[in-house]
Amino acid sequence: MDVIERWTGGHACMLQSALRLGNEQFAAHLGIAVRTVAAWHADPAVVPRREMQQLLDTVHEQAPPGARQRFALLLAKERVQADSTASGARALRVGIAVVVREADVLLVCRRDGAAGGITWQFPAGIIKPGSKAETATVRETLDETGVHCAVRRHLGNRIHPLTGVLCEYFLCEYLAGEATNSDTTENAAVMWVPRNAVPRFIPVDTLFPPVLAALEEQT
């Protein structure tokens, strides 16, 4: 079992993801305020106080075997990414739009679903060097789905656990347009699904916890 010498907000978020818990569930599991969990997502480099370090140790040690394995995988990928960054490698940066419309959220089905084990996902596009992440995300969403949206807030970023890509997540508000498959080369389908049904399309252990929390807030 991996041992964390010093927990950071990022490591705590990995543990949350491995346990497959939303912000409120994770806070309740730890017996802490939800705002503390939110602060970890906002600043992954923050180092919790000593009492919190001990609490995270305990939760990690008592986690089910499957959750500990997922945590070890996430931790290993973070270390590989850190090594790559240290050697001068630049991660591909992608903007991901979590577009909500009343009780629904927009999803696309990729034709290359075998790559990284991903089929259904949120609209996404590459953020080119020098481009503003919010602008690129809105533009790519329109290009591939025909949906006009506006960024409501930044949900955070992470190295995706399956693809190794640096992902910037944005909660977006639907403005106009019919959801259509405007990029038939890459996508097989585009559709609105109920927010509470997202885990049926995207494996929970690959969902970014702040995305889950944002969808829960909207319900």
Q: pLDDT tens for residues 128-142?
A: 888 899 999 999 999
pLDDT greater than 70 at residue 34: yes
Structure confidence at residue 16 (pLDDT): 92
- Provide the phi-psi class of 164: left if phi over 0, else alpha when psi is between -120 and 50, else beta: left
Domains in the chain and their CATH numbers?
9-86 (no CATH), 93-218 (3.90.79.10)
Q: Which pLDDT tens digit goes with each residue over 74-107? A: 887 776 665 554 444 456 889 999 999 999 999 9
Range with lowest mean pLDDT among 56-65, 148-157, 196-205: 196-205
One-letter-per-residue 3-state SS of the chain:
CCCCCCCCHHHHHHHHHHHCCCHHHHHHHHCCCHHHHHHHHHCCCCCCCHHHHHHHHHHHHHCCHHHHHHHHHHHHHHHHHHHHHHCCCCCCEEEEEEEEECCEEEEEEECCCCHHHCCEECCEEECCCCCCHHHHHHHHHHHHHCCEEEEEEEEEEEECCCCCCEEEEEEEEEEECCCCCCCCCCEEEEEEEEHHHHHHHCCHHHCCHHHHHHHHHHC
- Model pLDDT, residue 114: 45
pLDDT at 2: 59
What pLDDT, on the 0 to 100 scale, is given for residue 191?
Answer: 94
Q: What is the pLDDT of residue 90?
A: 52
Whole-angstrom distance, CA of residue 174 vs CA of residue 105: 9
With a threshold of 0.85, does the pTM exceed it? Answer: no
* pLDDT over threshold 90, residue 125: no
